[in-house]
Structure 1
Amino acid sequence: MILSLYSSAVYSFDGILVFGLLFICTCAYLKKVPRLNGWLLSEKKGVWGVFYKAAVIGTRLHIAVAVSCLAMAFYVIFLK
């Protein structure tokens, strides 16, 4: 019963938005760590390039990402 409740939330639109925002914030944070920056964010193309592109989005649009995180937190805590 509990498993079915959580599996339905995986495919919701707000769940995808939360995952995307957390992924962008995590990659932007990992870009600031020198050891992980060279290892994880060195590729700019292919599958590993997704991490690099998310880190670039997080660092260049940091104000928009922060506002989106706050808006999504308000939505999840109070409206959902």
Structure 2
Amino acid sequence: MTEKISISLTDEHAQLLQDAVKSGDYASSSEVIREALREWKARHLLARLWDEGLASGPAERDWSMRDIKADARRRKASA
């Protein structure tokens, strides 16, 4: 399902949109906007998860990155 929405862009943003399509990287302006929204959504999710991690307090263990990776590999192997 899709919905048509009309938006206003600055001349600079409109030119970026047109250039992205003209370059052949995107088939349409809609594709550019959809990808931008997906990236915006992912960035906001990552920021929320980061904030939740900080709010959860210090880790119970003082693990190094090597420890974290080894633990992840053990979990993956046992799954």
**TM-score, normalised to structure 2's length?**
0.30
Structure that is richer in helix per residue: 1
The TM-score, its normalising length taken from structure 1, stands at: 0.30
Higher relative contact order (CA 8 A, sep 6+): 1
| Bigger radius of gyration among the two | 2
